[in-house]
Chain A
Amino acid sequence: MNPFHYSKPVDVSQAISLAGAASRFIAGGTNLLDLMKENIARPEHLIDITGLPLKDVRETANGGLLIGALVSNADLAWHPLVEQRYPLLSQAILAGASPQLRNMASTGGNLLQRTRCYYFYDSAVPCNKREPGSGCPAKDGLNRIHAILGASDDCVATHPSDMCVALAALDAVVHVEGRGGKRTIEFADFHRLPEDAPQRDNQLADDELITAIELPPQGFVAHSHYLKIRDRASYAFALVSVAAALELDGDIIRDVRLALGGVAHKPWRDKAVEQSLIGQPVSRENFVAAAEAMLREAKPLEHNAFKVKLAQRAIVRALSDAATGGKA
């Protein structure tokens, strides 16, 4: 890893004032330090934000939750209010990483982790995400783990997070603060599709810090399920994952959320598909139709065509499990 300067600010405004294009904020460091060891990230200055007062989970006036950016993934997954009101989020977090990493990794940092595309991680080969304009070896290379939706000619990488798939389904809101002030970003708009600028994973400016994640009151407590399909039983990234949540009136679907992980540069939602399920009864036929519609624009690569059928089947299973109470 390259030499760098280190600072530990005591409040948010001090942290933001130190930030710039050559600096990085560090909290858990579980992805950033790995990237630095591989020479993928070469910050000149690390700004340690672990001393900032962003460690609370508290209820909002409208009955939602405001989660401080520094709450660890483990503390969030096992927080009583999250377990009781947002079981989908608990499940998704516990499906990711290892207990050690979940103890270290922060809520804000989880959003900012970078793709595990092996070409992105190999500094000996070109990569448009790492070196803009250098090319994409994944498109015609080994692309079993890569995107089938929303990719571009420049990048076929996927976003690696499980937590973010649940946050997308729950319509979370990202609170950020920069030198220009505070703003909120709808979760669906936070991460980007690669288009012709895959070096940018999200909408944050260099001086902006995630301070909190807000969850709206609707947690789909009775009917939600996070299903993760991977190459081994634990501690592996998703080939495909599904966050499914239903609000039922008898067997009629009043509201539904469906988000996919492992298939795109960001958690994948399609509100038209969700809309098509509203007012319909819970049935295998309706779930199969929704699953096919979710993947209608899939463009598989040489080695990942299996993901299309896998995602469709995972959607049907996750919706069915959600309908019967979220137990696998």
Chain B
Amino acid sequence: MSETTNQAFAEHVIALTLNGQPRQLNVQPWSTLLDVLREQLDLVGTKKGCDHGQCGACTVLRDGKRVNACLTLAVMCGGAELTTIEGLADGDTLHPMQQAFIKHDAFQCGYCTPGQICSAVGLANEGRAQTADQIKELMSGNLCRCGAYTNILAAVEEALPQSAAKASAVSEGGIDA
């Protein structure tokens, strides 16, 4: 490896789809997706809470699945379809999950909210939560230190069927991404 280690650390070029738009990005191997979103692309809706995968504030959707952007290397996102909180609404029409969070006042300070909403959309895509107890268990990767859990649960419970229907319409190609 001596030849390689003598070289400067290479920047890598990755191509991905971000909130429906094809993008080409130059990234350092050690940059996390979270830092690239916030620092390089100015998409600051995705929050940095713990930066260790413990709080869920950085949750984004990768190919429809919820992941922690803080524990994802940007260089490993080539070919991915990423959706952040900025990409959920359809123009001025909020995603049903966003609408439900407003309706139920499902936040206080709002810092965890983008991660909560992306996580709840991922939950809908998974189709595994039917009861309130299952929603609570499957939303446990998102902490809210204000303790808005009761209203978060109410919002997710209400929007889950509509979000799930939207997800299956997208996967069947019925809605333009």
Interface residues of A (CB under 8 A from B): 1-6, 20, 22-23, 26, 29-30, 33-34, 36-37, 44-46, 48, 50, 74, 78, 97-101, 103-104, 233-235
Kindly state the separation between the CA atoms of A255 and B108 in the bound complex, as whole angstroms: 53
**Residue in B7, B67, B142 whose CB lies within 8 Å of A104:** B67
Tell me if A104 and B72 are in contact (CB < 8 A).
yes
Interface centre among A6, A29, A30 (most CB of B within 10 A): A6
Selected from A4, A30, A50, A104, the residue in CB contact (under 8 A) with B29 is A4
Q: Which of A33, A44, A97, A103 contacts B67 (CB 8 A)?
A: A103
What residues of chain A lie closer than 8 Å to B10, measured between beta carbons? 5-6
Q: How far is the CA of A1 from the CA of B9 in the complex (A)?
A: 14
A-B contact count (CB 8 A): 100
What is the CB-to-nearest-CB distance from A134 to chain B, in angstroms, rounded to a whole number?
24
B141 within 8 A of A: yes
Interface of B is mostly: mixed
Whether A99 lies near B123 (C-beta < 8 A) is yes
Contact present for B66 and A100 (CB under 8 Å): yes
Q: Which residues of B contact A (CB under 8 A)?
A: 1, 4-5, 7, 9-10, 12, 28-30, 32, 51-53, 56, 59, 62, 65-68, 71-73, 75-76, 119, 122-123, 126, 128, 136-142
Q: Are A50 and B76 touching (Cβ within 8 A)?
A: yes
- With A5-B5, A34-B52: A100-B30 Cβ-Cβ less than 8 Å: no
Q: A5-B5, A34-B53, A234-B137 are in contact. Are A99 and B73 (CB under 8 A)?
A: no
Query: Nearest Cβ in chain B — how far from A34, in angstroms?
Result: 5
> Would A100 and B123 count as touching, CB distance under 8 A?
no
CB of A46 within 8 A of CB of B68, answer no
Residues of A within 8 A of B122 (CB): 99-100, 103
Instruction: Determine the chain B residues whose CB is within 8 A of the CB of A98 once the complex forms.
Output: 53, 56, 140-142
Contact status B9-A3, CB under 8 Å? yes
A235 and B141 contact, CB distance less than 8 A: yes
Sample 25 A-B pairs with CB under 8 A, ordered by A number: A1-B30, A3-B9, A3-B30, A6-B10, A6-B73, A29-B71, A29-B72, A30-B71, A33-B72, A33-B73, A34-B53, A46-B73, A48-B75, A50-B76, A74-B126, A99-B119, A99-B126, A100-B59, A101-B68, A103-B62, A103-B65, A104-B67, A104-B71, A235-B140, A235-B141
Whether A20 lies near B32 (C-beta < 8 A) is: no
CA distance A233 to B28 in the complex (A): 38
| A26 touching B53 in the complex, CB below 8 Å, given contacts A99-B119, A100-B141, A235-B140 | no
Contact assessment for B1 and A45 in the assembled complex, using a CB-CB cutoff below 8 Å: yes
Contacts of A3 in B (CB 8 A): 9, 28-30
User: Distance in Å from the Cβ of B26 to the closest Cβ of chain A?
Assistant: 13
